[in-house]
């Protein structure tokens, strides 16, 4: 039974997502139909931005070893903190006192 429930629920959710968003029903206004299409930005601006980002990517790649060392140090610190919070004898005493 549960195996058939998942595909059915997925189909219902998918069908519900295909509905038009609220407030978008109806025809576009005459002003919207008569308006010119939006102007697009030339792609040279994007190319220039990407070219300017290349030195940053190279600089970050050079810092990869330092970042890996820091991550390893943090993992070691987390492992050290993962031990018991109280000494074993205190824990045994508390467990013995529990009804």
Q: Give the integer Cα–Cα distance in Å for 57 and 64.
A: 11
pLDDT at 36: 93
Contact 52/59 with Cβ under 8 angstroms? no
> Where are the extended beta strands (E) located within the chain?
none
Show contacts of 4-9: CB within 8 Å, 24+ apart.
Answer: none
pLDDT at 15: 73
Q: Where are the domains of the chain?
A: 50-99
Q: pLDDT digit of tens for each residue in the chain (99 aa)?
A: 466 777 787 777 777 777 777 777 778 889 988 999 988 878 887 888 777 777 776 777 778 888 899 999 999 999 988 888 888 899 899 999 987
Tell me the C-alpha to C-alpha distance, in Å, between residue 47 and each of 39, 52, 58, 60, 65.
Answer: 18, 9, 17, 20, 29
Residue 60 contacts residue 54 (beta carbons within 8 Å)? no
The pLDDT value recorded for residue 34 is 93
The rounded distance, in Å, linking the Cα atoms of 16 and 4 is: 19
Q: What is the pLDDT of residue 77?
A: 94
pLDDT at 24: 74
């Amino acid at each position: 039974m549960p195996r058939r429930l998942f595909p059915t629920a997925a189909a219902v959710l998918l069908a519900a997502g295909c509905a038009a968003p609220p407030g978008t029903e109806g025809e576009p206004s005459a002003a919207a139909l008569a308006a010119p299409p939006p102007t697009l930005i030339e792609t040279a601006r994007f190319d220039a931005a990407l070219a300017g980002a290349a030195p940053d990517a190279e600089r970050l790649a050079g810092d990869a070893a330092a970042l890996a060392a820091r991550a390893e140090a943090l993992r070691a610190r987390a492992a050290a903190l993962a031990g018991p919070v109280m000494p074993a004898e205190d824990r045994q005493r508390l467990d013995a006192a529990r009804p």
